[in-house]
Amino acid sequence: MYDILLTDAMVIPVDPEHHIWEKGYIAITGDRIAALGPMEELGGELPQARQHISLKGLVLLPGLVDGHGHAGHCLIKTLGEHREDWEDMAQEIYYCCTDEEFWYAEGALAAAERLKFGTTTAVSMLGSTPRIDRPEPVGANLEGSASVGIRQLTGIGSAYGAFPKRARVWEADGSFREYEVTPEMAWKTTEETLRRYNGRHPRQIFIVAPGRMGLRPDESREMNIRHNREMDRLTREYDVPLHTHAYGGDVQFLYDTTPEVLTPRLSLVHSTGYSDRELEILAETGAYVFHGPTTHSNITGHCRVMEMLEQGVNLAVVTDGTASDRSYDLWRDMKNIQLLQRYRYKDGSLLPCGRVLELCTIEPARALGMDHLIGSLEPGKKADIIAVDVMQPHLAPFGVMPVQRLVYHAMGQDVDWVMVDGQVMMEHRRLTQVSEQAVLERAAAAFDTMMRRLNRRDILENEHLYDLRQG
């Protein structure tokens, strides 16, 4: 007897055989998919299950995997979007104006946004470059996201930019203690965080996520080599993915100095400005490129997506949500990547919809070393399933060319139902684990506290808002 039987929905499992079952079923035992296939295979008799859920009018897909975002960004989105010193603003907020309540409230808000858009596995770097002085913010953020029911991977590793940085720890009575943050703090905090938080909750994983790896311009060659080695050591010792931002020259430096770092467990976010040789190195080593179509570095630089894919480089699409100007809606980025690549190469045939769907499901799952668990609907894998409501004008009449219809026309808000680990986490767009109202209220209160401490109007006011250019 199965625990749950899902029936009557179209099923697009994104499996290696590229099945599409117009009317399919999925049987679930515990947190796993026990069986799935076309309903006609059942011969008119439904198997026994404790709970039977008919999902007529919906399409079942594997939960989306968003390989990169920034914890904290949901409470600073839009702020300072017009300012050139945005990075400094983000650092000031994260290091000097936040407390555990901020990180918990943001974790829950981000997880609610992502889950409601159909992302069931989410990766976040804590803060912007990120914040590295204490493990507690990571713990609070993981706890907030876990409360919503998402599968969350959050990391820190090392920060970049000028040191020493200032940080404040806020007490309940409104006072604070201020201290200097040095680069050495990062390694200690990362290891302490790995020890403290992994295994605490079945859907929380702490990963190693330094702000940048390779040849960081603010550091000496020797310091960079030491840093890259240390990040690799932590990754191997605790058996977690290694996740970082990287740009032109970084891959070459890693290859020349610490080639052991370049494995398929390494995901390099943004990856703009790579040389021909760096593309060859990526193809040889299997290290992943996590491409955010709308991230700033991809607007000012160039991630050579088509060349990478043609040369066999592993690649996934990520949102890089949500500050200052992005969304956690991965459905948007399915369209963004097509539009940008087709425009760049003046070729409308590039990146068909099936391939794009894989770049948001099974490919990022592989990069995280989790493709045996998530990223497609197959027997033995986790029951991380989403259902899209296709009985809506912008998707109707639904039936023919379903993959293209979804990738071109569906949006995050069309996701009606979400299951993670065999548990229904959203039903008719209502979260089941938390009160959405409470998540919103807690986030608003944390935002107000942060803004009071920051005390800056200039990040809200844009005198060029209706001009041709801002700033």
Cβ at position 141, least distance to Zn ion in Å: 15
Q: Which is nearer to Zn ion, 130 or 139 (CB)?
A: 130
Contact pattern for Zn ion over residues 279 through 298, marking x by CB under 5 A: --------------------
Q: Which is nearer to Zn ion, 106 or 320 (CB)?
A: 320
Q: In the window 172-231, what residues touch Zn ion (CB under 5 A)?
A: none
Distance CA(267)–CA(243), nearest Å, equals 5
CB-based closest residue to Zn ion: 320
Interface mask toward Zn ion for 310-339; x: CB under 5 A: ----------x-------------------
What's the min distance (Å) between Cβ of 375 and Zn ion? 21
- Smallest separation, CB 362 to Zn ion (Å): 22
Name the minimum Å distance from CB 267 to Zn ion.
Answer: 11
Using the minimum distance from each CB to Zn ion, give the nearer residue, 290 or 398. 290
* Residues paired with residue 119 on neighbouring β-strands, in sequence order: 64
**Least distance CB 471 / Zn ion (angstroms):** 22
Nearer to Zn ion, 320 or 389 (CB): 320
User: Which residue type, as a one-letter code, is found at position 408?
Assistant: Y
Q: Which is nearer to Zn ion, 235 or 272 (CB)?
A: 272
User: Which residue(s) pair with 10 in the sheet?
Assistant: 59
**Between 320 and 416, CB nearer to Zn ion:** 320
Our CB check for Zn ion shows the closer of 7 and 158 to be: 158
Residue 119 CB, nearest distance to Zn ion (Å)?
Answer: 16
> What is the total count of residues that contact Zn ion (CB under 5 A)?
1
Closest approach of Cβ 368 to Zn ion, in Å? Answer: 16
Cβ proximity to Zn ion: between 320 and 329 the closer is 320
User: Nearest distance from residue 290's CB to Zn ion, in Å?
Assistant: 9
Residues binding Zn ion (CB under 5 A): 320
